[in-house]
Chains A and B, each alone.
Chain A
Amino acid sequence: MHILACIKQTPATSNVQIDPKTGTLKREGMAAAINPFDEYAIEEAVRIKEKVPNTVVSVLTMGPPQAEESLRDAISRGCDQAFHLCDRAFAGADTYATSYALQMGIRKIETVTQKKVDLILCGKQTNDGELDIPNAAYVKKVEEINETMIRVWRMMEDGADLIELPLPALIAVVKEINEPRVPSLRGKMAAKKAVIPRWTAQDIEADKTKIGLGGSPTIVASSFNPPPRIGGVKIGGATAEEKAKNLVAKLLEMKLI
């Protein structure tokens, strides 16, 4: 079986903090890292590999040269090979342009490895893909997998749905699916040595009008800092009823309930 984990570069958002003095993003912790949700996709791919004999796990990302670090990280976690779509022409891609580029990248991987991709795994926020294959998102458990099909539990607000997809298929996982391992020492050595092909738009024969900012239907028109956090406000009120009312009003205003 050939599994492909698609990962995305994001600034490590969990560490991002606003400088309270200037109200801007703090630079520390802004190093690009594997999208935290993608770690679960990688871990699940490796777990399937450990279960299903003769399985190869590839990993693909699109991003600047620095993105290679996260591909090496994926190898240290047990992926066998990595591929990197890297071209300035890809920059600024939105969902649409990203999914197109990944689709072309997947074709290229299939050509190079001479192995059809049977299962594509991605993280919660990497649910792109123009591929015409069955898919399911919010997957919290792989119930069963064999050479021809995969059965997964999809998390729903009120429970879970069991879905069966014939392979090839694409699934997007949520963090409930597993607990990612720490990269192994042998994995780290392999990651250091791994040769990772870097492909340009031309290499994957992408239509230039469909990639990058130019190929993206959406653009970021402006960005601004959200209103700063109101600190240490004491909810007033003469009676408990008034206090309760004032608190709920405040929570509504902050869109928290």
Chain B
Amino acid sequence: MANEIYILQDRCTGCGSCVKVCPVNCISMSDRPKQEGVRWKKLATIDVNKCVFCNACVEDCDKLFEKTKVKVPNPDFFHAIVMKKEEVKVQIDTASYKGVWCFAEQRHGRLMPTIFELLHVAKKLSSDLNEDLSAVLMGHQVSQYAQDILEHGADKVYVLDHPIFEHFLDEVYTCALTDLIKREKPNKLLMPASIIGRSFASRVAIAAQTGITADATELSINQKNGTLHATRPSFGGNLMATILCEKHRPEMATVRPMSFPRAARQPGRKGEIVRVTVDPSQWNIRSKFVKYEAEKNETIDITAAEKIVSGGRGLGKPEGFKIIEEFAQTIGAAVGASRPTVDAGWIPYKHQVGLTGRTVRPKLYIACGISGQIQHLAGMSSAEVVIAINKDPECPMFKLATLSVEGDLYELIPLIIQEIKRVRDHK
């Protein structure tokens, strides 16, 4: 049986609410054929080919019916939309899976701080479940970090220390982690949504025959049945979706970096360190790592950047871009510029944002000393969040900005940088 979804025509009031909640726009309203005694004029229709069976319309319809208190002949259920989902036949003994795991990423033998963010959120999950919190550390000569991880809240660290893990290869990491999952049967597994994490997490999920939520920003445990609720932005951040994986284990999620604060360190905290024997000979590894090349200090391309710090005429002098660059580096952003600064030769053309420069669409755009001429706005007005820093509270940029700060940028920016660093260190 395939999935089914349909509208009960005698119940649909044609209110159109389901059209609005449908994330894939598969519901449309049409004129209802004239019928004796029916005063409703419209009727919802669902395009089953587009439907992803997310249940959003059913829930919405249910809620509305309760509110409107329309009398219906069969009060077993209220809603006008019926969905029948195909039942999953595979049944896994979910109870035998225990513990919350976090994947500790290392690059060039150095532990990446993402593990501390994972530990922060995983600690809450593990205490809600009353299960152990463990970390998996893979690398070459990285054992020394195990204690550090324990001190940040893990009860156990699985250490896979072997030369084969020195550089990241999808095949190697997938095999190693899958083997460990099959042997140890964790209940939940969180991985950073970094390049490495995103690269192999879905392969691990497929190999371990389980589900994964990519790029989660919120995680919680359902107290009734202990399942993981992972929430992620979808449709370019315009909709949040909560994903469940009830019948497979481990429930996996990659977690967007910077979504959670780092776990606090408790010096001297004890825990178990498990050294896992690694035998690569049983894996079929065909890919080969050739070499690594460090970033050649090239600035981030502004059109691809998620964050941009831009400087304008308000900088007053070419040296002003030094402070913009420092600001950008502090938050991992690219450097943008308004046209007058480019024309004045303060910064190369490739940084120019606006009508005659690049059009950008970052998550965060910080305009420093940019008044916001139309030509500039044309290139950046679709940024998700705009922050304006300017002396002139009447400037057009302030009208567009999500947040605006009035003041001297030479005074404000160093203070902001200082504050960001302070908050970070504090964490």
> Does B associate with A?
yes
Task: Specify the chain B residue showing the minimal Cβ separation from A241.
Answer: B415
Interface contact B233-A226, CB-CB below 8 Å = yes
A220 and B171 in contact, given A244-B418, A250-B403 (Cβ under 8 angstroms): no
**What's the tally of chain A residues with a CB closer than 8 Å to chain B?**
87
Instruction: Name A129-175 residues within 8 Å CB distance of B.
Output: 129-130, 132, 134-138, 151, 153-166, 169, 175
Interface contact A13-B236, CB-CB below 8 Å = yes
Q: Does B350 interact with chain A (Cβ within 8 Å)?
A: no
Residues of B within 8 A of A219 (CB): 54, 243-246
4 smallest CB-CB distances across A and B, nearest first, come from: A217-B211, A214-B86, A218-B211, A244-B415
A69-77, A112-120, A186-194, A232-240 - interface stretch:
A232-240
Interface contact A214-B51, CB-CB below 8 Å = no
A16 and B235 in contact, given A229-B385, A229-B402 (Cβ under 8 angstroms): yes
Interface contact A96-B206, CB-CB below 8 Å = yes
Give bound CA distance, A256 to B387, whole Å: 11
Q: Does A184 interact with chain B (Cβ within 8 Å)?
A: no
A223 and B49 in contact, given A163-B288, A248-B419 (Cβ under 8 angstroms): no
**B: interface residue count bin:** 35 or more
Q: Does A176 interact with chain B (Cβ within 8 Å)?
A: yes
Give bound CA distance, A247 to B388, whole Å: 11
Residues of B within 8 A of A178 (CB): none
Residues of B within 8 A of A218 (CB): 211-213, 243-245
Q: Does B407 interact with chain A (Cβ within 8 Å)?
A: yes
Give bound CA distance, A172 to B27, whole Å: 33
**Which of B194, B202, B384 gathers most chain A CB within 10 Å?**
B202
B118-126, B292-300, B311-319 - interface stretch:
B292-300
Q: Besides the contacts A136-B287, A219-B245, A221-B229, what 16 more A-B pairs have beta carbons closer than 8 Å? A: A66-B50, A91-B53, A135-B171, A138-B199, A151-B290, A153-B293, A155-B195, A158-B295, A161-B168, A212-B3, A220-B56, A223-B23, A225-B240, A234-B403, A250-B403, A255-B217
Residues of B within 8 A of A65 (CB): 49
Residues of A within 8 A of B416 (CB): 244, 247-248
Residues of A within 8 A of B399 (CB): 232
A234 in complex: contacting residue of B53, B361, B406, CB < 8 Å: B406
Taking Cβ atoms with an 8 Å cutoff, the residues of A that contact B are 11, 13-14, 16-18, 22, 24-25, 27, 30, 64-66, 88-89, 91-92, 94-96, 99, 127-130, 132, 134-138, 151, 153-166, 169, 175-176, 209, 212-226, 229-235, 240-241, 243-245, 247-248, 250-252, 254-257
A159 in complex: contacting residue of B202, B294, B423, CB < 8 Å: B294
Interface contact B54-A217, CB-CB below 8 Å = no
A235 and B404 in contact, given A16-B236, A24-B21, A137-B199 (Cβ under 8 angstroms): yes
Q: Does B88 interact with chain A (Cβ within 8 Å)?
A: yes
Task: Specify the chain B residue showing the minimal Cβ separation from A124.
Answer: B198
A240 and B407 in contact, given A91-B51, A163-B287 (Cβ under 8 angstroms): yes
B53 in complex: contacting residue of A92, A153, A155, A164, CB < 8 Å: A92
A164 and B288 in contact, given A157-B194, A212-B2, A247-B403 (Cβ under 8 angstroms): yes
Residues of A within 8 A of B331 (CB): 257
**Which of B88, B198, B287, B288 gathers most chain A CB within 10 Å?**
B287
Residues of B within 8 A of A217 (CB): 205, 209-211, 245, 247-248
Interface contact B169-A163, CB-CB below 8 Å = yes
**Chain B nearest CB: distance from A257 CB in Å?**
5
Give bound CA distance, A223 to B234, whole Å: 9
Instruction: Name B249-267 residues within 8 Å CB distance of A.
Output: 258-259
8 contacts across the A-B interface (CB closer than 8 A): A13-B235, A135-B203, A159-B292, A176-B301, A213-B3, A213-B85, A220-B55, A223-B234
Q: Does B401 interact with chain A (Cβ within 8 Å)?
A: yes
Taking Cβ atoms with an 8 Å cutoff, the residues of B that contact A are 2-3, 20-21, 23-25, 47-56, 59, 85-90, 107-108, 167-171, 194-196, 198-200, 202-203, 205-206, 209-214, 217, 229, 233-248, 258-259, 284, 286-295, 301, 304, 307, 331, 361, 363-364, 384-385, 387, 393, 398-399, 401-408, 411-412, 415-416, 418-420, 423
Residues of B within 8 A of A175 (CB): 304
Give bound CA distance, A218 to B234, whole Å: 15
**Chain A nearest CB: distance from B320 CB in Å?**
17
Interface contact A25-B235, CB-CB below 8 Å = yes
A222 and B86 in contact, given A22-B20, A96-B205, A164-B288 (Cβ under 8 angstroms): no
Residues of B within 8 A of A165 (CB): 286-288
**Which of B59, B107, B171, B195 gathers most chain A CB within 10 Å?**
B195
Residues of A within 8 A of B420 (CB): 248, 257
Interface contact A138-B403, CB-CB below 8 Å = no
A257 in complex: contacting residue of B23, B244, B258, B418, CB < 8 Å: B258
Residues of A within 8 A of B402 (CB): 229-233
**Which of A155, A169, A241 gathers most chain B CB within 10 Å?**
A241
**Chain A nearest CB: distance from B232 CB in Å?**
10
Residues of B within 8 A of A30 (CB): 25
A96 in complex: contacting residue of B47, B86, B211, CB < 8 Å: B211
**Chain A nearest CB: distance from B28 CB in Å?**
9
